[in-house]
Amino acid sequence: HAFSPLRHLGGARQQRDEVLERMVAEGFITTLEAQEIAATPLQLRSPTDSGHGNAALQAVRRHFEELLADREIRRGGLRLRSAIHSDI
């Protein structure tokens, strides 16, 4: 992906900055907020660190996304424990 910070950090920063500019233009955030966010270093995690690289974990996630309402997922606070080891 052209904007993946793992492969194209410069492109990811540029895309982030364009989104921030648009958010300012649309009134979602202030210019100061956009500047503060842009000054924050990007924190990168590889897909394997987050479990997204494991096909079995992705299947479990998709299953629960179908069961739960989008609203519940976005609200957070849910924790799923699994015996699947992402390093296998």
How far apart, in whole angstroms, are the C-alpha atoms of residue 20 and residue 30? 9
Are 1 and 39 in the same domain?
yes
3-class SS letters over 55-86: HHHHHHHHHHHHHCCHHHHHHCCCCCCCCCCC
Are 35 and 19 in the same domain?
yes
Report the pLDDT value the prediction gives residue 82, as an integer from 0 to 100. Answer: 72
Report the pLDDT value the prediction gives residue 48, as an integer from 0 to 100. Answer: 55
- Tally the domains of the chain: 2
Give the SS3 label for residue 30: coil
Task: Give a yes or no: residue 73 inside a domain.
Answer: yes
Are 52 and 36 in the same domain?
no
Are 40 and 59 in the same domain?
no
Are 40 and 7 in the same domain?
yes
How far apart, in whole angstroms, are the C-alpha atoms of residue 68 and residue 65? 5
Nearest to 58 by CA among 84, 20, 32: 84
CA atoms within 13 A on the CB side of 63: 7
Task: Give a yes or no: residue 30 inside a domain.
Answer: yes
- pLDDT tens string 24-72: 999 999 999 999 999 998 877 665 555 555 777 778 778 877 777 666 6
Q: Structural domain of residue 62, as residue ranges?
A: 47-81
